[in-house]
Amino acid sequence: MAKSCSGAGLIFRVAVPVPIHRLFDYLAPDNIDADRVKPGIRLEVPFGKGKKIAFLVECTRHSEHDTGKLKQVERILDDEPLLSAQDLQLLYWASRYYHHPLGEVIGTAFPVALRQGKSVLVQTEKVYALTESGKATDSNQLKRTPKQKIVLEKFQSLGFEASPRHSLSEAELSAWNTNWRLSVRQLIAKGLLQVEFSRVGAHPPAVLNNGNDLHCNPPQQAAINAVCDSLGQFGVFLLEGVTGSGKTEVYMQIIRSVLERGQQVLVLVPEITLTPQLENRFRQRFTVNIAVFHSKLTDRQRQIAWLQMQQGACSILLGTRSALFTPLKNPGLIILDEEHDTSFKQQEGFRFSARDVAVVRGKMLNIPVLLGSATPALESLHNVDNGRYRLLHLPERAGSAIEPVLQLLDIRNKRMVEGLSETLIAEIHSTLAKDEQVLLFLNRRGFAPTLICHGCGWVARCLRCDANLVIHANEGLLRCHHCGREQKGPHQCPVCKAKELTALGLGTERVEKVLAELFAGKVIVRLDRDSTQRKGSLEGYLEEINQGRVDIILGTQMLAKGHHFPNVTLVAILDVDSGLFSIDFHASEKLAQLIVQVSGRAGRAEKPGKVIMQTRQPEHPLLTTLIRHGYKSFAKTALAERKEALLPPFSYQALFRVQAVDAEQPKLFFQAVISLAQKLDVNAMPVNTQDNDQQSGQTKSAAIQILGPVSAPMARRAGFYRYQLLFQSQNRRDLHALLDRLVPGIEKLKQANKVRWSLDIDPVDLY
């Protein structure tokens, strides 16, 4: 029973981070002043058998529930909400748009520590600084301990008086050099360095910029002017420019103008591995405090970064998708680099698109949003066409760098050595002879994708998925790339006992092996998820490559993302055909982006690069358009095809995915969903009745098409049967109006208890 409450019937409507699509009512704590509590504050509430940290949405005097049965809020955690009213509005909007429970959406905006109810008072950050003796010591005295010498010099290079900060945080040290810890400890032991604690709320320095801006070319200057003229108001800019065209330089000069206005900048990149590189460039350019936010940091580091932005102690936040909702005290600009990258779309739980939400956030905050890419997403180009985004184009590489030449290599009927044609092998030899680097791209890790018995045709399959097991020869394992299950590679066929088991197809391990034989004595580095699992190993490899200690770089799509290899002059895509045939309509766009991105790694400096694609489809329109006319032409054709087929961005999609242990349950569930949808909206109809629909005089555009259910492209995964159902409409508002009513209804379906379902708004892949 509820305790008596002096707030006399005051009720807190609360968003609890659980996967349930509604708010929960609680009795306010005793002696609470309704005017004092504000939406967004964190609360501890009893929930089920335990307690949860939840968020106040509103105070009210009415509840649909029997107030006698309501439980009481246990504790109020914040005096003031940590999120601004605008940020809360953004989260409310995102919850509605993505049809995801508000409590989980608000939870996403907080770093784990605060989500778990930690106090915001942990506000100091460990930093290191020179002692007096450290300032006076000549670093040459440390020449026998070169690592310590480098660290000491780093601190001394900060300057003792002129620099606004003479100290470095752990995050800053890690961004500079992954191996700083031992040397710092030794320098502390020698009395040259000391530990200090700096307040999170430290003031930004007066000097913002090191003054080393480059002299920009006219297109760069035009881009900078366009965005700077728009500071203080909303606008979306799409900065299109090939790798090396000077986009980052443009970002930095715009950032300087924002900093001069006393405002903060949020910079998002798709991949954690891209943060150190950008962070270094920012730190060299700016003297302001820079915070970094991504999933590899500790909870404490993320909490500090978050609070530093919230309190205005840091001026730049550099992060991945998860940094998008970080509160900004004085927001001035949002930048998304590599905006086409699908890593910006969260693929589980709260499936938001960081790009799309960033645009909405910019609009709510009335600040510009700058999207950058060498290969803009088709949606973004469409938004340029319809006037929503403004295109800023950097047509060529900055400085003196030359763009690479793309060519198709027809390998039909050619002799191949483990996936390498003789022509390609010769090209590699001649590149290496010039002391230049080669980069080979193959988007499949492991040794080979299939193990087959030569005696009876048995194939090693995953027991829990509709997939073959991949051979990982280095570890002697077969591994499922979908559920992670692994087993020892068999010595004989489990069916016919034959000893001759054949590895079919090509993975990076296999190519690495043949490269080692063909190019004996050359240094080969393989970059894929297996070889870079150990923390810091990718950075180590990248460093070796950039110092010219590597001859051949072989890798998966990890290579396509932003890393710069200035000495690479030959890039080869070993198996471009495998990307040409997919049932997902997004596939051609992704392939074209991948090809252009991989090509962008070649010939950065004065050396021209060459890009070779091995194909058995030399006449394929995607490849020929891309090669003869470039990405923009490809994009134009692809958009025309999408328009013809009424696919996004010319229509809007919402994809329900469902899985269950029992193969029948997903179908029963979807039958119930379809009939519910038709009950709620007469315009919603399964796609096979669409023809009748047109006869009955309704326009196609008014309809919401329901496609499916069909079994997922991978029908079984990790032991679950998987199905999907696609809703599609040319009218976004109609589609969402239906979903607004459908989703709460689905939650109440009895068939929903037997399955796991999720909803993906604007899906970026149909798997």
> Residue 372 CB, nearest distance to ligand ADP (Å)?
7
Residues 448, 463: Cα–Cα separation, whole Å: 19
Q: Does 274 bind ligand ADP (CB under 6 A)?
A: no
Q: Which does 763 bind (CB under 5 to 8 A by kind): Zn ion, ligand ADP, none?
A: none
Neighbours of 30 (CB within 10 A): 12
Nearer to Zn ion, 350 or 458 (CB): 458
Name the amino acid, one letter, at 5.
C
Number of residues near ligand ADP (by CB under 6 A): 15
> Residue 336 CB, nearest distance to ligand ADP (Å)?
13
For helices 102-109 and 85-97, angle between their N-to-C axes, nearest 10 degrees: 130
Q: Which residue has the tokens 């999207």?
A: 371
In this chain, which stretch among 195-203, 214-222, 663-671, 726-734 interacts with ligand ADP, using CB under 6 A? 214-222
Phi and psi at residue 694, in whole multiples of 5°? -65, -35
In this chain, which stretch among 72-80, 148-156, 242-250, 325-333 interacts with ligand ADP, using CB under 6 A? 242-250
In this chain, which stretch among 28-36, 74-82, 244-252, 292-300 interacts with ligand ADP, using CB under 6 A? 244-252
Residues in the chain: 767
Binding mask 417-456 for Zn ion (x = CB under 5 A): ------------------------------------x-xx
Q: Which does 243 bind (CB under 5 to 8 A by kind): Zn ion, ligand ADP, none?
A: ligand ADP
Q: Does 579 bind ligand ADP (CB under 6 A)?
A: no
Nearer to Zn ion, 406 or 462 (CB): 462
Q: Does 275 bind ligand ADP (CB under 6 A)?
A: no
Q: Does 495 bind Zn ion (CB under 5 A)?
A: yes
Question: Among 232, 365, 277, which residue's Cα sits nearest to residue 542?
Answer: 277
Nearer to ligand ADP, 246 or 327 (CB): 246
Secondary structure (DSSP) of 638-698 = HHHHHHHTT-TTSSEEEEEEEEESSSSHHHHHHHHHHHHHHHH-TTEEEGGGHHHHHHTT-
Q: Which does 567 bind (CB under 5 to 8 A by kind): Zn ion, ligand ADP, none?
A: none
Q: Quick one: which of 217, 624, 690, 711 contacts ligand ADP (CB under 6 A)? A: 217
Nearer to ligand ADP, 243 or 263 (CB): 243
Question: Among 170, 370, 157, which residue's Cα sits nearest to residue 266?
Answer: 370
Q: Quick one: which of 465, 611, 638, 712 contacts Zn ion (CB under 5 A)? A: 465
Cβ atoms of residues 317 and 286 within 8 Å: no
Q: Does 219 bind ligand ADP (CB under 6 A)?
A: no
Q: Does 398 bind ligand ADP (CB under 6 A)?
A: yes
> Residue 608 CB, nearest distance to ligand ADP (Å)?
16
In this chain, which stretch among 103-111, 147-155, 458-466, 536-544 interacts with Zn ion, using CB under 5 A? 458-466
Question: Among 523, 546, 550, 599, which residue's Cα sits nearest to residue 244?
Answer: 599
Half-sphere exposure of 164 (CA within 13 A, CB side): 13
Q: Does 607 bind ligand ADP (CB under 6 A)?
A: no
Q: Quick one: which of 40, 107, 246, 507 contacts ligand ADP (CB under 6 A)? A: 246
Nearer to ligand ADP, 247 or 444 (CB): 247
> Residue 244 CB, nearest distance to ligand ADP (Å)?
4
In this chain, which stretch among 239-247, 428-436, 463-471, 673-681 interacts with ligand ADP, using CB under 6 A? 239-247
Nearer to ligand ADP, 217 or 474 (CB): 217
Prior bond of 376 cis (ω within 30°)? no
In this chain, which stretch among 16-24, 245-253, 402-410, 532-540 interacts with ligand ADP, using CB under 6 A? 245-253
Q: Which does 245 bind (CB under 5 to 8 A by kind): ligand ADP, Zn ion, none?
A: ligand ADP
Cβ atoms of residues 505 and 451 within 8 Å: no
Q: Which does 38 bind (CB under 5 to 8 A by kind): ligand ADP, Zn ion, none?
A: none
Q: Does 542 bind Zn ion (CB under 5 A)?
A: no
Q: Which does 390 bind (CB under 5 to 8 A by kind): Zn ion, ligand ADP, none?
A: none
> Residue 253 CB, nearest distance to ligand ADP (Å)?
10
Three-state secondary-structure class, residue 554: strand
Number of residues near Zn ion (by CB under 5 A): 15
Q: Does 461 bind Zn ion (CB under 5 A)?
A: no
Task: Sort strands 264-268 and 331-337 into parallel, antiparallel or unpaired.
Answer: parallel
Nearer to Zn ion, 359 or 462 (CB): 462
Residues 6+ apart with CB under 8 A from 529: 445, 556, 558
In this chain, which stretch among 87-95, 489-497, 504-512, 666-674 interacts with Zn ion, using CB under 5 A? 489-497
> Residue 753 CB, nearest distance to Zn ion (Å)?
26
Residues 671, 668: Cα–Cα separation, whole Å: 5
Question: Among 251, 261, 311, 245, which residue's Cα sits nearest to residue 282?
Answer: 251
Q: Does 216 bind ligand ADP (CB under 6 A)?
A: yes
For every residue of 450-466, which 3-state class applies, written as one string? EEEECCCCCECECCCCC
Nearer to Zn ion, 481 or 604 (CB): 481
Secondary structure (DSSP) of 430-493 = HHHHTT-EEEEE-S--SSBSEEEETTT--B-B-SSSSSBPEEEGGGTEEE-TTT--EEEPPSS-
Burial class (CB in 10 A: 0-12, 13-18, 19+), 352: buried
Q: Which does 367 bind (CB under 5 to 8 A by kind): ligand ADP, Zn ion, none?
A: none
Task: Sort strands 416-417 and 420-421 into parallel, antiparallel or unpaired.
Answer: antiparallel
Cβ atoms of residues 70 and 57 within 8 Å: no
Q: Quick one: which of 137, 139, 183, 243 contacts ligand ADP (CB under 6 A)? A: 243
Q: Quick one: which of 95, 108, 183, 220 contacts ligand ADP (CB under 6 A)? A: 220
Residues 510, 401: Cα–Cα separation, whole Å: 34
Q: Which does 85 bind (CB under 5 to 8 A by kind): Zn ion, ligand ADP, none?
A: none
Residues 675, 160: Cα–Cα separation, whole Å: 72
Q: Does 563 bind ligand ADP (CB under 6 A)?
A: no
Nearer to ligand ADP, 238 or 452 (CB): 238
Nearer to ligand ADP, 220 or 569 (CB): 220
Cα–Cα separations (whole angstroms), residue 284 to 175, 209, 301, 431, 557? 12, 9, 22, 34, 29
Residues 15, 189: Cα–Cα separation, whole Å: 50
Name the amino acid, one letter, at 270.
P
Q: Does 247 bind ligand ADP (CB under 6 A)?
A: yes
Residues 507, 116: Cα–Cα separation, whole Å: 42
Question: Among 593, 82, 522, which residue's Cα sits nearest to residue 303?
Answer: 82
Q: Quick one: which of 134, 241, 332, 489 contacts ligand ADP (CB under 6 A)? A: 241
Nearer to ligand ADP, 214 or 714 (CB): 214
Residues 519, 524: Cα–Cα separation, whole Å: 9
Prior bond of 649 cis (ω within 30°)? yes
Q: Which does 732 bind (CB under 5 to 8 A by kind): Zn ion, ligand ADP, none?
A: none
Nearer to Zn ion, 166 or 481 (CB): 481
Q: Quick one: which of 214, 426, 459, 498 contacts ligand ADP (CB under 6 A)? A: 214
Residues in contact with ligand ADP by the rule CB under 6 A: 214-217, 220, 241, 243-249, 398-399
Q: Which residues bind Zn ion (CB under 5 A)?
A: 453, 455-456, 458, 462, 464-465, 480, 482-483, 485, 493, 495-496, 498
